[in-house]
Amino acid sequence: MVGASENTVSLVRAEPSLNLRHLRIFAAVAQCGSQHEAAIAVGVTQSAISQALRKLETLLGRRVFARGRHGMDLADEGRILLRRTQRMFATLEGMKKWVRNAGVFDNRLKMVHLGGLVELDRAKGYAAAARALGMSAPALHRSMREFSDLVGTHLVRWTGTSIETTRIGDHMARLAGLALAELQAAWADLDDHAGASSGQVRLGAIPIARTDILPDVVADICDTDPGVSLELVEADYETLTRALRRGALDIVLGASRGADLSGDLEEHVLFSDELSVFARKDHPLAGRRDLTLDDLVRYPWIAPRSGAPTRSDFEKLFEGHSVESGLITTSSLVIVRAVLARTDRLTLLSRRRVLYEEQQGLLTALDLALPLTRRIICVTTRRDWHPTRLQSDVMERLLRCT
């Protein structure tokens, strides 16, 4: 599974210096306009309000309120933090659907609960998750028991080989990841407001994007924003979109799913991609004109793995023809390239994916017009995503790569 970012881990490690209670108090003061009114709304003393705000501002290294004779007005930094905090708490509100006693949930939920569940969902084990969070495994066990008691049901279970989230735990882990992603974005927004070159973009991509689109975008970003962090993840589409829906990725590049796209995601079209049949440069069919499917089925093939977008194209292309004998199934370009170079096998690939290999004369596209092999390549994001300045910049650069 795609892992949680270092920013997620560092946020959780900051607990109790940063905790949800401080952020709830901050949001209450922003809404009420005074510490006195906020204390009544939250049900704490005014001194507790003052202490929470001091700790929050110390942690941020910034003032979030301008204190005056007529109350407390948000500073620019406070407005930035409030926007993200409100989105974070709106996400956490969705957890109450599965909580038995929603009345005590807000006051007892902790940052370590969120980060612990996210890391357990990623690492599938207490020892690895605890190491990532900078805490002991027994402490993480206690935290997860506390979280489960708060929700009223088990959130994780032991399968005999690893830790897995339960059905409700899976929902909770997704919302926890999205909530922490908003908090990460708040830190990036604040740094950007201060003129600091920082922030992170976590980008997942299918093979075609990794070999053609991403190198140019990454080089461009590194030239203009040398202080930023780019996390590039390689995985299949299902793994990438699962991470996207959990806040572990910001952007996914891949083939359009069209009507099959999940309702909480949206696609932004980049370009149309065509497939070709590839072979080694001195293959018996290389250079021949007017090839037919009958010519192709005489040779063994390397096929895309089941579930890959090009697999359905492969199956449609050879409908009514038998190419199953001796079929190699893989989506690894390294393996495909090595096997093609040593054998007479053929494969179906995007020309953009093997642009380098074709330019270097390692592989060649056969002269054959292929029906029904045009794919739409797009950028996929969460539908309600509010990107940071850096994330917006990366999106704009990607959309120009058409």
Smallest Cα–Cα separation from 173: which of 238, 102, 120? 120
- What's the rounded mean pLDDT across residues 18-29? 92
The H or E element containing residue 221 is helix 214-224
Reported pTM: 0.84
318 — pLDDT class (breaks 50, 70, 90) = confident
Domains 6-176 and 272-376 share a fold: no
Query: Domain spanning 195-269+377-400 has what CATH number?
Result: 3.40.190.10
| Residue range 350-381, pLDDT digits in tens | 887 888 888 888 999 999 888 766 778 899 99
The residue among 282, 254, 279, 278 whose CA lies nearest residue 267 is: 254
Residue pair 244/205 in contact (Cβ under 8 Å)? The answer is: no
**pLDDT at res. 209:** 62
CA R_g for the chain: 26
Cβ atoms of 303 and 348 within 8 Å: the answer is yes
- The helix/strand/coil state of 56 is helix
Q: What is the pLDDT of residue 13?
A: 46
Alpha carbon dihedral 378, 384, 388, 392, in 10-degree steps, equals 30
What pLDDT is stored for residue 16 in this prediction? 41
Contacts 24+ apart (CB under 8 A), 337-341: 337/362, 337/363, 339/302, 340/278, 340/279, 340/280, 340/302, 341/280
| Nearest partner of 33 among 70, 72, 87, judged by Cα | 72
- Residues pairing with 279 in the sheet: 364
CB count within 10 Å of CB 226 equals 8
For the chain, the residue count is: 402
The class that CATH gives domain 6-176 is mainly alpha
pLDDT of residue 12: 53
In this predicted model, what pLDDT tens digit does every residue of 138-161 receive, in sequence order? 999 999 999 999 999 999 999 999
Mean pLDDT value across residues 318-335: 84
Question: Residue 200: how many CA atoms within 13 Å on its side-chain side?
Answer: 19
Beta bridge partners of 365: 278
How many Å apart are CA 276 and CA 300, to the nearest integer?
A: 16
Amino acid identity, position 245: R
Q: For residue 402, how many other CB atoms are within 10 A of its CB?
A: 10
- 3-class SS of residue 200: strand
Q: Comparing 82-86, 201-205, 269-273, which segment has the lowest mean pLDDT?
A: 269-273
DSSP string computed for 99-139 = -S-HHHHHHH--HHHHHHHHHHHHHSSHHHHHHHHTS-HHH
Written as one string, the DSSP assignment of 236-297 is -HHHHHHHHHTTS-SEEEEE--GGGS-TTEEEEEEEEEEEEEEEETT-TTTT-SS--HHHHT
Label the pairing between strands 265-280 and 229-234. unpaired
**Partners of 348 in the beta sheet?**
277
- Please state the CATH superfamily assignment of the domain spanning residues 272-376 in this structure: Periplasmic binding protein-like II (3.40.190.10)
Please report, for the chain, the start and end positions of each structural domain, with discontinuous segments joined by +: 6-176, 195-269+377-400, 272-376
